């Protein structure tokens, strides 16, 4: 029996392992071929988050890491050989997190949390394994096309339907990339 390909999803700021994106990945990836994982990582400190995620990737032999928004930033910064699927990336957390307004049930990032991401902003493109790809929503209301030129300079980049929150309409193209059928 062939082993399942393991896919790790790294959620964005204020997200959780119960993210709707995890559900969409499980819905669109055949469960006999893929195992989707998502861990509650220490988001309050970038170095701790990266160490935690790198350990989980090693421990579980994860082949594909998919991150969205702040999770995409973390995925880019990971020093791993796993293919990286980057969705609506927040490439400069020290700028973007500082813009967040209080929302019901969502934490406002503290200055210490924001500062913890700064030292890693210069290394987002240091480790891009083969097959890595970026997806950017055509109507991203949070980041727009701010980071598109930078992403296009470093990774193959595709436009997906939807907004900052990943839509079901975008999943077929992302699944195709996870399967290795999109370069």
Over its length of 183 residues, how does the chain's per-residue pLDDT go in tens digits? 678 999 999 999 989 999 899 999 999 999 999 999 999 999 999 999 999 999 999 999 999 999 999 999 999 999 999 999 999 999 999 999 999 887 777 778 999 999 999 999 999 999 999 999 999 999 999 899 999 999 999 999 999 999 999 999 999 999 999 998 875
Q: What is the dihedral of CA 155, 24, 67, 30, to 10 degrees?
A: -70
Q: How many CB atoms lie within 10 A of CB 84?
A: 23
For the entire predicted model, the pTM comes to 0.95
């Amino acid at each position: 029996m062939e082993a399942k390909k393991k896919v790790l999803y790294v959620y964005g700021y204020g997200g959780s392992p119960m993210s709707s994106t995890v559900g969409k990945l499980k819905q669109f990836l055949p469960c006999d071929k893929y195992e989707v994982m998502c861990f509650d990582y220490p988001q309050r400190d970038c170095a701790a988050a990266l160490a935690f995620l790198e350990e989980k990737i090693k421990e579980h032999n994860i082949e594909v890491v998919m991150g969205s928004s702040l999770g995409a930033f973390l995925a880019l910064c990971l020093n791993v050989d796993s293919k990286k699927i980057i969705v609506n990336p927040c490439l400069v957390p020290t700028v973007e997190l500082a813009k967040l307004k209080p929302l019901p049930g969502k934490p406002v990032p503290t200055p210490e949390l924001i500062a913890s991401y700064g030292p890693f902003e210069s290394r987002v493109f240091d480790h891009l394994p083969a097959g890595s790809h970026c997806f950017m929503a055509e109507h991203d209301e949070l980041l727009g096309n701010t980071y598109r030129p930078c992403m296009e300079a470093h990774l193959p980049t595709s436009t997906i339907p939807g907004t900052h929150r990943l839509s079901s309409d975008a999943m077929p193209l992302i699944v195709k990339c996870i399967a290795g059928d999109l370069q």
